[in-house]
Chain A
Amino acid sequence: MKRSNALFILPVVLALFLFFFFPLEEIIRYSFTNARLFEKGYSYTLINYKMIFTDPDFLHSLKITVIFVIFSVIGQVGFGLLLGLLFYRMENIGLRYFSLVTRTVIVSAWVLPGVAIGIMWKLMFSDFQFGIVNYFLSHFVFHKPTMISFLSNARNALIIVTVSNIWRGLAFSMLLQYAALKQVPKELYEVASLDGANKLQRFFFITLPCISQQLLINITIATISTFNVFDAILSLTRGGPGKSTEVLSLMVYRSVFSNTDLSYGSAVGVILLIINLLISLMYLRIIFRKEVRA
């Protein structure tokens, strides 16, 4: 093989080194120092990692992030599967057009900038009386004036942030599950019906095993993208009220830029990176196992 052929892949290798490996190497290095954002000198130390696991802010942020991720992923994958089933069934009973229109609307949520999503949800869930959701609840659900503090109450804010993230990520899960469901051979259902299997049995013994691969891929990708959400939460709650929706990516931002504590923020970032790396390895295992089997 000609050596000059290597020139073809040079651009992406350069991009990887200059825009991924170099910045990450710097972040890892900073995490072992006492560097401040606007100061030049620093010395190497392990203090950040000694502090981090007893820092109530970090432990709180980690806890919030894990709750946010677990419920987001359950919601995205669970509702994604339900919607996939809904659209699959609708196609079969002659509601093709309605299903197509609704799918289009769901996918359109995915192309919206995260900041815009945060702003749109903030407009709907305003705590004040002119908030449309509060008004809706007062009139149609509770039948009395209701003013729920959606975004100024710690627990509610986390719920809204999670629900908005499910809303945003549902397009991906729905498309994936819908495509997977269409791949399940129809003959399997027919044979099972002849053998007297009911709907539930067909779902658990045919559908689920056939789409398990896609479910696993869906779970890993949804997990990683939820760990990295930044823009939508910042524009919806700014991590507040207090620090009640300050997930790890926002804590990195606050530590580095608001507290100018470059080294500590980097250490938080390194932990976020390690979590992502572990889940990515799972994702690779699934993807490449699939390739071997196919």
Chain B
Amino acid sequence: MRSSLIEKVVLSIICAFVFVIFIFPLFWTFSMSIRNPQEVFSYPPRLWPKNPTFANYKTVVLETDIPKYFLNSMILVLISVILVLIISIPSAYGLSRFSFRISSVLIPILLVVQMVPGILISITFFKYSRTLGIYNSLTFLSMTIAAYRSPFITWLLKSFFDTIPRELEEAAMIDGCTRLGALRRIFLPLATPGIATAVIFTSIFAWGDFVFPFIMIDDYKKFPVTVGIFAYTEAKYQVTTHLVATGAFLMVIPALIVFLLLQKYVVEALTAGAIKG
């Protein structure tokens, strides 16, 4: 009994330590974001500012382009998610329901291509961008992000679709439904949890994507939030630490909210490539 109490205490202390290590960067960023510029650089640094103020948030919203970057990122997420679903749902359905001769090659390829570094793909598009009219285009950027994630999503959805019995659609087709009708009325409602995982996975990556917009966009009016706030860290002749902290904290909030509300799907998306064979 006593040894188990000691164990409880020791494990709780270790756990608390881990908790602090993982929460601290977020906490510190927030704490920096509610300081005025003088207090950011004051010594000794305080964990919590003496005069907490939300002035930086007001500055960021009213006097910088950061709200515009947020809007761009939201557009980017929206288009990317729609495109990923357009690419991946039919493809995953096809791979799950029919056996093509190329399936045995295609399925491993879907898994392998997610290891291709984004920087390599973006170089080619940069090189062709002016002739193809894709430089500084949020639409083409969304297409690139969607296409880059679609093989993995296709594979993720295929393994989910495999668990939905095909007899259900066949029964509907015998009753006079077309295949598309059966797909829409019977199959898609059952596939919703898998599709939700795909949507969340794509949203998180589209929101945080950096390398594609960094290379393919240089018009600051079209920056997504990642590139826009990174650009602030590059401002050499201005002290922007307090604004950068504010921007960084604002940038992580949407991701954190989605995560906290939809944890189950996030965990599923995160471990999908490893647990299912």
What residues of chain A have their CB less than 8 Å away from a CB belonging to chain B? Answer: 1, 5-13, 15-16, 18-20, 22-24, 26-27, 30, 37, 83, 86, 89-90, 93-95, 98-99, 101-102, 104-117, 119-124, 128-132, 135, 167, 171-172, 175-176, 179, 214, 217-218, 221, 224, 227-228, 230-231, 234-235, 249, 252-253, 256-257, 262, 265-266, 269, 272-273, 276-277, 279-281, 283-284, 287-288, 290-291, 294
Out of A129, A218, A266, A283, name the residue touching B43 (CB < 8 Å).
Answer: A129
Known: A108-B256, A114-B208, A130-B40. A27 touches B123 (CB 8 A): yes
Closest approach, in angstroms, between the C-beta of B45 and any C-beta of chain A? 5
Number of interface residues of B (CB under 8 A): 98
Known: A115-B229, A291-B277. A8 touches B98 (CB 8 A): yes
A93 touches B25 (CB 8 A): no
Contact partner of A106 (CB less than 8 A), chosen from B22, B151, B256, is B22
Chain A: CB-nearest residue to B154: A12
Q: Which residue of A lies closest to B215 (CB)?
A: A257
Rounded to whole angstroms, the CA-CA distance of A13 and B105 in the bound complex is: 12
Within 8 A of A (CB), among B96-151: 97-100, 106, 108-113, 115-121, 123-127, 143-144, 146-148, 150-151
Query: Besides the contacts A18-B147, A90-B11, A122-B233, what 8 more A-B pairs have beta carbons closer than 8 Å?
Result: A7-B90, A16-B151, A86-B14, A98-B15, A113-B210, A113-B252, A231-B208, A280-B112
Q: Min CB distance, B267 to chain A, in Å?
A: 6
Q: Are A290 and B277 touching (Cβ within 8 A)?
A: yes
Asked whether, in the complex, the Cβ of A262 is within 8 Å of the Cβ of B123, the reply is yes
Could you show 7 A-B contacts with beta carbons less than 8 Å apart?
A9-B94, A12-B87, A12-B110, A15-B87, A23-B125, A98-B15, A123-B245
A26 partner, pick from B15, B109, B127, beta carbons under 8 A: B127
**How long is the Cα–Cα vector from A115 to B45 in the complex, in angstroms?**
24
Name B's interface SS.
helix
Output the least CB separation between B152 and chain A (Å).
10
- Asked whether A130 lies within 8 Å of B15 as measured between CB atoms, the reply is no
The 8 Å CB contact of B277, one of A95, A124, A227, A288, is A288
Q: Say whether B62 faces chain A, with CB atoms less than 8 Å apart.
A: no
Q: Is the CB of B123 within 8 A of A228?
A: no
B266 touches A111 (CB 8 A): yes
Binding site for A on B (CB under 8 A): 4, 7-8, 11-12, 14-15, 18-19, 21-26, 28-29, 32, 40-45, 47, 86-88, 90-91, 93-95, 97-100, 106, 108-113, 115-121, 123-127, 143-144, 146-148, 150-151, 154, 204, 207-211, 214-215, 225-227, 229-230, 233, 241, 244-245, 248, 251-252, 255-256, 258-260, 263, 266-267, 270-271, 273-275, 277
